[in-house]
Amino acid sequence: MFGGTVDYEIAAPRAGALVESLRGFGYSTGAAIADLVDNSISAGARNIWLDCRFDGPSSCIALLDDGVGMTEPELRNAMILGARNPRDARGSEDLGRFGLGLKTASFSQCRCLTVASRRNGVTTVRRWDLDYIANSPGDEWRLLMGPRPGSGHLLGALDEQSSGTVVVWEALDRITAGMLAGDRRSEDAFFQVIEHVERHLAMVFHQFLDGKDPVRLFINGRRIKAWDPFIRSHPATEATPAEVIPAADGGVELQGFVLPHKDQLSEQDALKGGGTQGWAAQQGFYVYRGGRLLVAGGWLGLGTPRPWTMEEPFRLARLRVEFGNRSDATWDIDVKKSTARPPRQLRLRMTALAEIVRGKARDVFAHRGSYGKRESVTDLEATWLTGSASTTARYRINRRHPLVAAALETPADRATIEAALQLIELSVPVERIWLDTAERGEVSDRAVVAEAPPELADIGRSLVAHWTGRLGMTSDEARRRLLSTDPFHSYPALVEGLVMNANVTKAGQ
C-alpha cells in the first residue's frame, strides 16, 4: 500500500489563520482555566494559585503551581500544538489527552500566552503571541523565548520555588471586550466572570479538593471549597451501592444518589445544592475521568421509550459514573473534556440504574421528603388522593382525613360541605402549579421540616380537642392518630407539644 513512488506536496497550515480558527473551540473561561489546572495536577502539584488582576484591556490572569516543573525541551514540546498523540499511553494520573488543551484553552481567552517552568533551579520561558504571529514574515510558527516586555514581574513568584510552572494570560480580548480601566462597572463584570470560574473549579475538581490528600486551589488568595453534587454528608441523601463493571480498558464504577428534598435542607444548603445551573438543570449523570468531572448533569441521550429530558420531578436524581483515562476512546472524550458518550455495552445498565434512581427521586419530590431515609409512616392519612380519568390526572380530597372527617360529622349541612369539597377538587389549578414548579422549582415556601407553619398548631389543637373530648380518645391514641396524619407526621415535636398542652388543659378543668 505504501510501496513505490508517491507524488506529494507539503500542505502546511498558515500559522496566523490556524491559531485564529483554534480560538473558536467554544471554551467558557471556567472550562479553559480547568484545562490549565488539569496540567498542574498531572504534574503532581499540591498547591495551585490563580491570580486574576483587573486593569481594563491590560488585565491578566496567572496560574502558578508547585508541581515538578519542566525542562527546556519539555516546555518547548508542551507549547507545540498536537505534540502528543491522543492514542499514546499515559500515566493513570495524567488528566490530558490530545496535547492541545494548554494552547486551545488559552487562545480561546487571550492573545498572549506565556509559560515559565522551573526544575532543578533552572527556569525556562516560552511565549505564544498571536499578534506577533499574524505580523511575522512568512506566516511562521514563531515560539518566542522570554516574557512579554514589561511583564517579567508576573513570573517572579516562580523564583521562590524549587520547581513549578506559571501560566500567564495577557491581552484578554475575549474576557475584557469593551471594559475600561478604572471603571467600576467593568471591574464588577470582570470579577463576576471570576466568580463563575470559582464555582466551576469547585465542581470540576471537588474530588481532588476534598480527598484524603487534597489539592489546595486558591483564587486571589482565597481557598476554593469543594462542591459535592451528591450532598453525601447529609443524612437524608440516599445512595445505591457502588457497582463496578469490569472491562478491558479498566472498567466503570456506577452509583446513584437521591438528594434530600428542599424541605430537609437549610436555606444555604438548598441554594448551594443547586450548583452552577440550578436544581433542575443539574439532574442526571456526573461523568468522571480519573477523578476529574467531565459532564455535570444531563441524561446522555439515555431513556425509554424516548430519551429523557430535564424535568422538574427528577431534579433530585443524580448518578456518578467513574472511569480512568484508558477509556478515553471508548467514551469519545472531546478536546475540551466537556462531553462524553457512554459505550453501547454500558447503556442498558446505566439506563436501568437511572430508572431506579429517577423513580425514588420522583417519590421524594412528590411527597416533599417524606420518603427516603426518614422512617416511613404506616397508614398515613394524606390530605389529597391521586387518580386518573383516561389520560387526565385527578386530585381528590381524602374524606377519611381526620380534619375532613370531623367537618363531615358535625351537625352542619353535610351536603353543603360535600359540595364545597367537590368544587375545590374540580378547580385544582394543576396547570398553574406545574408552571410555578417549572419556573421557580417549588410551589410553596413551606419551611424546613423542623419548623412547622404557625397555623398548623391551631388546626392540630382543634383536632386533639375533638378526639379527646368528643370521641373520648386517650392522649396516646390522639398522639398516634396525629402522627399518622398529613402533614402533622412531618412535625413530631409539634404533635408532642399539642398532646401535652391538651393534658394540662384537661387536668385544670
What are 46-75's pLDDT values in tens digits? 999 999 999 999 999 999 999 999 999 999
Pick from 111-125, 216-230, 301-315, 484-498: least confident = 484-498
pLDDT band at 461 (very low <50, low <70, confident <90, very high): confident
Distance CA 182, CA 31 (A): 28
Q: Which has more pLDDT, 487 or 338?
A: 487
pLDDT band at 249 (very low <50, low <70, confident <90, very high): confident
- At residue 19, what are phi and psi to the nearest 5 degrees? -65, -35
Residue 191, pLDDT > 90, answer yes
Phi-psi region of 221 (alpha: psi -120 to 50; beta: other; left: phi over 0): left
Could you tell me where in the chain the CATH 3.30.565.10 domains are found?
A: 15-223
> How confident is the model over 354-382, as pLDDT tens digits?
999 999 999 888 776 554 444 555 567 77
Distance CA 209, CA 225 (A): 7
Contact yes or no for 165/43 (Cβ under 8 A): yes
Residue 490, pLDDT > 80, answer no
Residue 153, pLDDT > 90, answer yes
Helix spans in 112-250 (H)? 130-135, 184-204, 206-209
pLDDT of residue 341: 82
For residue 406 the three cell numbers come to 370531623
Q: Which of 203, 256, 245, 219 is nearest to 64 (CA)?
A: 219
Write down the mean pLDDT value for the chain: 83
pTM, two decimal places: 0.74
Omega into 487 within 30° of 0, i.e. cis?
yes
Contact yes or no for 453/447 (Cβ under 8 A): yes
**pLDDT-above-70 percentage for the chain:** 82
Q: Which of 334, 253, 330 is nearest to 288 (CA)?
A: 253
Task: Report the Cα 500 to chain-centroid distance in Å.
Answer: 45
pLDDT of residue 295: 92
Residue 384, pLDDT > 90, answer no
Superfamily of domain 15-223: Histidine kinase-like ATPase, C-terminal domain (3.30.565.10)
- Name the DSSP class of 470: I
Distance CA 218, CA 222 (A): 5
Distance CA 160, CA 86 (A): 34
pLDDT band at 502 (very low <50, low <70, confident <90, very high): low
Q: Which has more pLDDT, 315 or 438?
A: 315
pLDDT of residue 239: 95
Number of other CB atoms surrounding residue 220 within 10 Å:
12
pLDDT of residue 434: 67
236-265 burial code (b ≥16 CB/10 A, e <16): bbbebeeeeeeeebeebebbbbbbbbbbbb
